[in-house]
Amino acid sequence: MSDFNCTKADDMNFELMANRTRYLKENPKGVDEMCKIMEDMRSESLKEVALRMLAAGKYALEEIANISGLSLDEVKKLKAERTV
């Protein structure tokens, strides 16, 4: 369990986790992979906020776009997908 608190792969006990951490933090391809994963998570979070706002029915689409950080087109697309 202590491996989950380690910030450096060299400090980890579990070799498989250390190797994966080393790849994601030190290898340029791994860093790119991690950045993509983090951006995908951020995007999903923004969409969830917008969907909750759409469900509340209290906000104009422009307000949802402004508050959620999504583009107006993305909010319109979410609204259309939600009603299908």
Give 7-59 pLDDT, tens digit per residue. Answer: 899 999 999 999 999 999 999 999 999 999 999 999 999 999 999 999 999 99
Phi-psi region of 80 (alpha: psi -120 to 50; beta: other; left: phi over 0): alpha
pTM tops 0.75, yes or no: no
What's the mean pLDDT in 51-72? Answer: 97
Output the CA torsion 61→62→64→65 (10° steps).
Answer: 120
Report which secondary-structure segment, H or E, holds 4: none
Structural domain boundaries enclosing 75? 2-83
In sequence order, which ranges of the chain are alpha helices (DSSP H)?
15-26, 28-56, 61-68, 72-83
pLDDT for the residue numbered 1: 79
Whether the Cβ atoms of residue 52 and residue 64 lie closer than 8 Å to each other: no
Domain count, the chain: 1
Lookup: tokens for 31: 């860093």
pLDDT for the residue numbered 63: 98
pLDDT for the residue numbered 82: 86
